[in-house]
Amino acid sequence: MLETIERYSQEVHSAQFTTKEEVEAFRIQYLGNKGILKDLYAAFKNVGIEEKKNVGLALNEFKKQIEEKISSLNFQDNRSSKAILDDFTKPSSSESSGSLHPISIITYEIIDIFERIGFSVSEGPEVEDDWHNFSALNFPEDHPARDMQDTFFLSLGQSNYSLRTHTSSVQVRVMEEHSPPIRTISPGRVYRNEAISARAHCFFHQLEGLYIDKDVTFADLKQTLDYFAKSLFGKEVKLRLRPSYFPFTEPSAEVDVSCTLCAQKGCSVCKYTGWLEIMGCGMVDPNVLSSCGIDPNTYTGFAFGMGIERITQLKYRVNDLRLYSENDVRFLQQFKS
């Protein structure tokens, strides 16, 4: 048996390889489950007692020789790879990393801001019935938002369905399924039947917030929005609320922030007013609370909603809404980090 081990040892010593595949085949041949070394160990059981010591030492040395041979071959291969990497005259590889879409980047940033002050995230279907999209939100039957020029209506059986025009429908579902206190934000895609242009699109993204509890006031709404604006645009930003009208809130307001691009000196982005509109807000109308099974005599609340594209435009100075959905790699590569 010593002669057999010596013969294999000579073969291992003289073996030469040029590829990784050949090295792997060599390893399997000698060290695999059905390899030569395993057969030798099996034969070792039948060796006489007087020879076991010498044969055992020879087997251990043979195994060590094989492992060192494989290790040296791998080391040489690594050195070869390193030599290639050290050749700075060679062209660089075309590998590139992707990035989040700018809408996703801003959405996650806004969610993180509101989660820090106790808001949870809720989602709902994009195809909605009339109750959740309009009626529960205090839209009269003759409200203009119900017209075909604003809404994509769908014919599904006997019921009136449409693509949701806002994520307020998610808030209705939350109020129906949960008892106050409620503190949630609802990000998602919405749809409007509008002509596509640089400033409008038939679909876009909204994020709406809702807070309902006992003794919630307009001051709570203003403080929440001030915290959000300073967290997103910087501590120097100022907030301005202008009276407005929404069917589901009363009183209602439009929210402006001081233009961070020109420091309120006036520029084309803020139309030389020094202010940028970012969202609408207001106290939840008692009729909405009643429609969702919440007692308006016990609870009050506020709601707000913003367009993600609008916020992204202000953060990144994107002046054409169509860029968000065209998947132009040249545009998307600018948001790598």
- Is the pLDDT confidence value at 257 over 70? yes
- Is the pLDDT confidence value at 286 over 50? yes
Note the pLDDT of residue 83. Answer: 46
Note the pLDDT of residue 92. Answer: 66
The CATH class, in words, for 102-122+180-335 is: alpha beta
For 112-130, how does the pLDDT look when each residue is reduced to its tens digit (9 = 90+)?
A: 999 999 999 999 999 988 8
b/e map of 264-278 (b: 16 or more CB within 10 Å)? eeeeeebeeebbbbb
Question: Can you give the pTM of this predicted structure?
Answer: 0.67
User: How many other CB atoms are found less than 10 A from the CB of residue 303?
Assistant: 25
Label residue 16 exposed, middle or buried (CB < 10 Å: 0-12, 13-18, 19+). exposed
- Is the pLDDT confidence value at 138 over 80? yes
Once rounded to an integer, what is the mean pLDDT over residues 2-6? Answer: 82
Which of 216, 139, 214, 136 lies closest to 173 in space, CA to CA? Answer: 136
Identify the band that residue 79 occupies on the pLDDT scale cut at 50, 70 and 90: very low
- Domains of the chain, by residue range, sit at 2-85, 102-122+180-335
- Read off φ and ψ for residue 70, nearest 5 degrees: -65, -45
Once rounded to an integer, what is the mean pLDDT over residues 283-300? Answer: 94
Q: Using CA atoms, how far apart are residues 80 and 97, in angstroms rounded to an integer? A: 27
Q: Please, are residues 293 and 320 in contact by the beta-carbon 8 Å criterion?
A: no
- Is the pLDDT confidence value at 215 over 90? yes
